[in-house]
Amino acid sequence: MALQCPKCQSDNVQKVEMAYMAGTSNLAGKVSGGSIGVGTLGVGVGAHSGTLSGTQQTELAKTLAPPPNQFASTIAGIFVGGVVLGFVLFIVAMFFFDLKPSLSLLFWSTLIITTPIVIAVVMYVKSDGAQKLKAEFTTATYKWKNSYICFKCGTKFVGQP
Ligand SMILES: [Zn+2]
């Protein structure tokens, strides 16, 4: 590999994305005398080598995980929160107005619950804050995809795409 670690000049470097996705077996032994375990849920890195200390492990774990998508998680939050709130209000209204369960009631209540959620999501997506988060996520993801990790000294660096 032509790429070298900027700190120790080792060519024992790998794309962070690859290292993150590769999982335990492929990575075992690549850190001198240690192993890295990346679980399906994300951040399980455990190195037991002489070169990587506890603090570096945490840094490594943070580095290997892809950047969080706050833009998408806020939309999911609005959606889940809206559905839960709408459902609670619907139950309360059913008892309060003594409504009988029916298909048309289901249809109209779904529409009444869904409409404000859709409006809230659209308003959020159009907001400057959301667009900024989206742009930041795109930049962070691009950087993450072009990041490399040195297995000799643990340095992470952004390579040329
Ligand atoms: Zn290095």
Q: What angle do CA 156, 158, 161 make, to 5 degrees?
A: 140
pLDDT tier, 49 (very low <50, low <70, confident <90, very high otherwise) = very low
CB 71 within 8 A of CB 128: no
pLDDT at 3: 86
Return the higher-pLDDT residue of 107 and 60. 107
Structure tokens that stand for 66 in this block: 């892809």
What spacing in Å lies between the alpha carbon of 146 and ligand 1's midpoint? 16
User: In this prediction, what percent of the chain has a pLDDT beyond 90?
Assistant: 43
What spacing in Å lies between the alpha carbon of 13 and ligand 1's midpoint? 8
Question: pLDDT tens for residues 82-141?
Answer: 999 998 988 898 889 988 888 888 898 899 999 999 999 999 999 999 999 999 999 999
Return the higher-pLDDT residue of 154 and 69. 69
Q: Would you list the domain boundaries of the chain? A: 13-65+143-158, 70-126
Rounded to two decimals, what is the model's pTM?
A: 0.63
Structure tokens that stand for 22 in this block: 């590769």
41 pLDDT above the threshold of 90: no
What spacing in Å lies between the alpha carbon of 9 and ligand 1's midpoint? 6
Question: Average pLDDT, stretch 32-59?
Answer: 41
* CA torsion angle 81 82 87 93 (round to 10): 130
> Which residue from 57, 63, 54 is spatially nearest to 147, judged by alpha carbons?
63
CB atoms within 10 A of CB 140: 15
pLDDT tier, 60 (very low <50, low <70, confident <90, very high otherwise) = low
What spacing in Å lies between the alpha carbon of 17 and ligand 1's midpoint? 17
